[in-house]
Structure 1
Amino acid sequence: MAGNPRNGRRYRDLCIKQRSLGLPCWLCGHNIAYEITGPEAGKHRDAFTLDHLIPLSLGGDLLDPANARSAHRRCNSARGNRTSIKQGRASRTW
């Protein structure tokens, strides 16, 4: 029986590669706190998480670099498995 692929070497390598790019969150556009690592990162809302453009539950590939995106933990959680990104409301003041 195979283990959890998120614990595998290929997934960890993809996370390391994506993290090394130092990109802002693809969902909100703000900087990610890449300095937060280890167990603390699992609890901090501004920490890096690997998000997937096409959610895994909708057939996205866990290990495809083209499907990988950098996101805040809070943004990734808020998006869930939706394929659209919620846009902020435009101001009526011009």
Structure 2
Amino acid sequence: MAGNPRNGRPYRRLCVQQRALRLPCWICGHEIDYSLTGYAAQRSAWAFTLDHAIPLTRGGDLLDPANARSAHRRCNSARGNRTTRPQTQASRRW
């Protein structure tokens, strides 16, 4: 029985390579706080996460560098498995 591929060395290597690019969040365009590591990174909405342009549930490749994107944890979660970026919601106040 194989383990979780996200715990494997190739996936961790891809995360390190993407993180080293220090790119802004591809979803919102704002800077990512790359100084956050360990537990702080796991808890912060503004920490780096590896996102996939084509979600894995839609056939995207987990280990393809061309599919890897830098994103905030918050933006990545909000986007979910959609192939488009979430639209900012307009205020309900008129």
TM-score, normalisation: structure 2: 0.91
* Shift in Å, 1:42: 1.0
Identical residues among aligned pairs (%): 71
Question: Quick one: which amino acid aligns to residue 6 of structure 1?
Answer: R
User: What are the ranges of 5 or more consecutive residues in structure 2 without an aligned counterpart?
Assistant: 90-94
What stretches of structure 1 move > 2 A for 4+ residues in a row?
Answer: 86-89
Task: For 1:39 and 1:88, locate their aligned partners in 2 and report how far apart those are by CA, in whole Å.
Answer: 29
* Residues 1:9 and 2:42 are matched in the alignment: no
* Shift in Å, 1:85: 1.1
Number of residue-to-residue matches in the alignment: 90
Instruction: Tell me the residue number matched to 2:92.
Output: none
User: Deviation per CA, 1:33-88, whole angstroms, max 9, x where unpaired?
Assistant: 00001122111000000000000011100000000000000000000000011344
Task: For 2:86 and 2:56, locate their aligned partners in 1 and report how far apart those are by CA, in whole Å.
Answer: 19
RMSD: 1.4
TM-score, normalisation: structure 1: 0.91
